[in-house]
Amino acid sequence: MGARVALARQQGVTEDLVAEIKNYRESKVLAPHEKAAIHFADVLAGDHKSGGKELFAELREHFTESEIIDLGIRMMAYVGYTRFLAAMEVESFGGTCPPSTK
């Protein structure tokens, strides 16, 4: 978790914006295309088999096919990256991040 938060902060994500993500569907701050992208990320990071025609119909309201593929590839990289960090028990960025010596 710490590694993801540190990276987000480096990219200008505020605490207020992070707080919106948890309840993105009801957010008054996030734009519809951001909500669709977060939904896509949520599906890929969680129950990836719950995606389907409805998810892609929602995405197509805001993104081209090429953009959807690009989003998916980027999300797969980040989901894999964060799962790798969790498996290695890396908690934060900055300095060295040695893996756990369990």
pLDDT tens digit sequence for 26-83: 999 899 999 999 999 999 888 877 888 999 999 999 999 999 999 999 999 988 888 8
Q: What pTM value is reported for the model?
A: 0.71
The separation between CA 86 and the C-alpha centre of its own chain, rounded to angstroms, equals: 15
pLDDT computed for residue 80 by the predictor: 87
Residue 37 burial class via C-beta count within 10 angstroms: exposed 0-12, middle 13-18, buried 19 and up: buried
CATH of span 2-87? 1.20.1290.10
pLDDT above 60 for 95: no
pLDDT computed for residue 96 by the predictor: 47
Instruction: Pull the structure tokens for residue 12.
Output: 């200008």
Q: Alpha helix locations (H) across 1-102?
A: 2-10, 15-22, 32-45, 53-60, 65-87
